[in-house]
């Protein structure tokens, strides 16, 4: 659980930046090279990382909650 939160913290600044006025156009090969690393992550982890990047200001609260509820695992976290 702690690794997942650390991964979210590492990725959050990449998505939290303001978008440029005109997005650059990339050739298909370069675009594929950029996203190839993301394809290696399991879908549930990728979903959590992207959510964390979208709501990066909530990460400290989530880390605090995870520390307080360290005894929960798997499906217990969602109930």
The predicted-structure confidence for 2-54, as pLDDT tens digits, reads as follows 665 555 555 555 555 666 678 778 898 988 888 888 878 888 888 888 888 88
Both structure tokens of 42: 């399991």
| Domain presence at residue 62 | yes
| Domain presence at residue 52 | yes
Predicted model pTM: 0.37
CB atoms within 10 A of CB 42: 8
CB atoms within 10 A of CB 8: 22
CB of 34 closer than 8 Å to CB of 26: yes
Q: How many domains does the chain have?
A: 1
Domain that holds residue 48: 1-15+41-79
């Amino acid at each position: 659980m702690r690794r997942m939160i650390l991964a979210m913290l590492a990725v959050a600044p990449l998505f939290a930046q303001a978008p440029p006025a005109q997005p650059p156009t990339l050739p298909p090969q370069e675009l594929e090279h950029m996203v190839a690393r993301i394809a290696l992550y399991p879908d549930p982890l990728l979903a959590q990382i992207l959510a964390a990047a979208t709501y990066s200001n909530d990460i400290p609260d989530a880390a605090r909650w995870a520390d307080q509820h360290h005894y929960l695992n798997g499906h217990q976290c969602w109930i």
